[in-house]
Structure 1
Amino acid sequence: MSEGIDLSDLKRRMDGAINAFKSDVASLRTGRASANVLDPVMVEAYGSRVPLNQVANITVPEARMLGVSIWDKSMVNAVDRAIRESNLGLNPIVDGQNLRIPLPELNEERRKSLVKVAHDYSEKAKVAVRNVRRDGMDSLKKAEKDGDIGQDVSRSQSEKVQKMTDEMISDIDRLLAEKEKEIMQV
């Protein structure tokens, strides 16, 4: 009999979900312009969806402005459309092969919509963590059914997986609360 499933692998996968969540909320702007704001933007390019930074350079020429220099002239409209449809509340100004994106002042309504986006990101991360938990539990059930591990080992590891999941979910909630406070701060 083995000692069950690889808990360190489950932890690594759950950490991956949290790191993805951290990078998602880092892209939510709070006051100053940051090139990370455009990280979630995916552009329809050459028959597939690619991140914006794979078709253009993103710069921050001034505190309330982003600059996007598109490498391929034929991609300008696709990039413009992707930024407008990205749910970030940005309206690019097309200037040849470049886009200038003025960042609007954060009003109460915009702050609330950014908080909603942050909540969506947190829910996505929680679902990812729960999927990892489900995979671990399924592996345990299968190992127990196949006779690889006993009921006691299975129950013990199930409790460890659940404890790890609860810790990850509370980490996500804590990070979300911090970001929400940062966004709502005037």
Structure 2
Amino acid sequence: MNEEIQFVLDSVEEQMSKAISHLEYEFTNIRAGKASPIMLKSVMVNYYGASTPLSQVANVNTLDAHTLTVQPWEKSMIQEIEKGIQNANLGFNPMNNGESIIINVPVLTEERRRDLVKQAKALSELAKVSIRNDRKEANNELKKLDISEDLRKNAEVDVQELTDKYSKIVDEHLKIKEEEIMKV
């Protein structure tokens, strides 16, 4: 096979695998009823006048499946951390015990679970759109190459096979995430 064609196929496969990696990352942001320190990664805290990520001013751990603990490195930061968690609008009610902050993660309602599944489906569709865009770019690159019509057609078939393969991977990830979300 022509090395120019192989280069196009390799680069499109790399782009498609990046779409899968991004989808996996986005799926970690969708909580499925279990407490996880990742849930607080968007929380910003006023640290001596500067807006700072929570992870840079405190340790965040899971106590059990429904409880998060936030242990500030400086006791004076407890009020600011509590305020930051409330301002992040995550639906959590932090409790301050003087030394750390405890957050009870509420059990998901059926309606909320359905909303999370819709969110997961939307993210999956975005990943598929990205994969199809990668296919389009690869096919355009193949058309620019100075190769025979037969070679180009065969390469386009290979690109379509990659597209089908990665779309199937997206579907598998979605199925797993849906089961995880809907499991009570």
Normalising by the smaller structure, the TM-score range is: 0.7 to 0.9
* Cα-Cα RMSD: 3.4
- Name the TM-score, length of structure 1 as normaliser: 0.72
Inter-CA distance 56–166: structure 2 relative to 1 (3 Å threshold): farther
1:161: which partner in 2?
A: 159
- Name the TM-score, length of structure 2 as normaliser: 0.73
2:183: which partner in 1?
A: 185
1:65–1:100: 8 Å Cα contact kept in structure 2?
Answer: yes
User: Deviation at 1:136?
Assistant: 1.1
1:68–1:99: 8 Å Cα contact kept in structure 2?
Answer: yes
Which of 82, 90, 101 lines up with 2:103 in the alignment? 101
2:120: which partner in 1?
A: 118
Q: Deviations over 1:32-55 (max 9, x none)?
A: 21223345x37599xxx9976467
Which entry has the higher C-alpha Rg, 1 or 2? 2
1:90: which partner in 2?
A: 91
Query: What does residue range 1-186 of structure 1 map to in structure 2 within 5 Å?
Result: 3-6=4-7, 7-38=9-40, 41=42, 53=55, 57-68=59-70, 76=81, 80-82=86-88, 84=89, 90-93=91-94, 95=96, 100-143=102-145, 148-186=146-184
Tell me, which stretches of 5 or more residues in structure 2 are unaligned? none
Inter-CA distance 173–2: structure 2 relative to 1 (3 Å threshold): closer
Inter-CA distance 30–163: structure 2 relative to 1 (3 Å threshold): same
Alpha-carbon distance in structure 2 between the residues aligned to 1:94 and 1:176: 34
Alpha-carbon distance in structure 2 between the residues aligned to 1:50 and 1:16: 29
Counterpart secondary structure, 1:59: strand
User: Deviation at 1:80?
Assistant: 4.3
Alpha-carbon distance in structure 1 between the residues aligned to 2:10 and 2:54: 34
Q: Equivalent pairs: percent with the same residue?
A: 34
